Amino acid sequence: MNKAEELMRKVQKAFYEQIDYEELKRHDYLNDDYRNSLRRFKLAVESLGLQYGKCYHANGIGNNNEYPILLVEIDEDGFRTEKQVCKFYYCVGIYGGVSAYLYDNNDHMIASLGRAR
């Protein structure tokens, strides 16, 4: 297993440990507890030495959020390099619920939780 695969497995493990299916499912107009799960997951990703990249509104829709999860390093010449480990995606349903996913660099889903309505 190479370094990229190892980091992706650690992110996948953090995804299932930190994101609470019940918090995602309960989301509605008055309840945004799902943000607690997303916050815990982000902290777990950062504890692995990784960073979230810039948010992209997937499919051009504001409730679809996609973040690259990056390994950021400074090379021997002083240049900042960003290596994408995987992508974190979540969709907040307009009728409630939240869906959260992890995709590898080949756009294969490697983890999923929740259900947006």
Mind spelling out the 3-state secondary structure of 71-87?
Answer: EEEECCCCCEEEEEEEE
pLDDT digits (tens, 9 = 90+) for 56-115: 887 777 788 999 999 999 988 999 999 999 999 999 888 888 999 999 999 999 999 988
Distance CA 106, CA 74 (A): 25
Q: Provide the token pair at 97.
A: 């619920």
Asked if the model's pLDDT at residue 52 lies above 70, the reply is yes
101-109: long-range contacts, CB 8 A cutoff, minimum separation 24 = 102/11, 102/12, 102/15, 104/8, 105/4
Q: pTM for this structure?
A: 0.88
Asked if the model's pLDDT at residue 30 lies above 90, the reply is no
Sorting pLDDT into bands at 50, 70 and 90, what band is 53? very high
Q: Provide the token pair at 54.
A: 């810039």
Measured CA to CA in angstroms, residue 40 lies from 14, 16, 19 at distances of: 9, 11, 7
Distance CA 114, CA 101 (A): 9
Determine the pLDDT at residue 33.
Answer: 83
DSSP letter (8 states) at residue 4: H
User: Quick one: which of 88, 86, 98 has its CA closest to 24?
Assistant: 98
pLDDT digits (tens, 9 = 90+) for 61-75: 778 899 999 999 998
Give residue 46's domain range: 3-114
Degrees (nearest 5) of the Cα angle 105, 89, 79? 55
Number of domains in the chain: 1
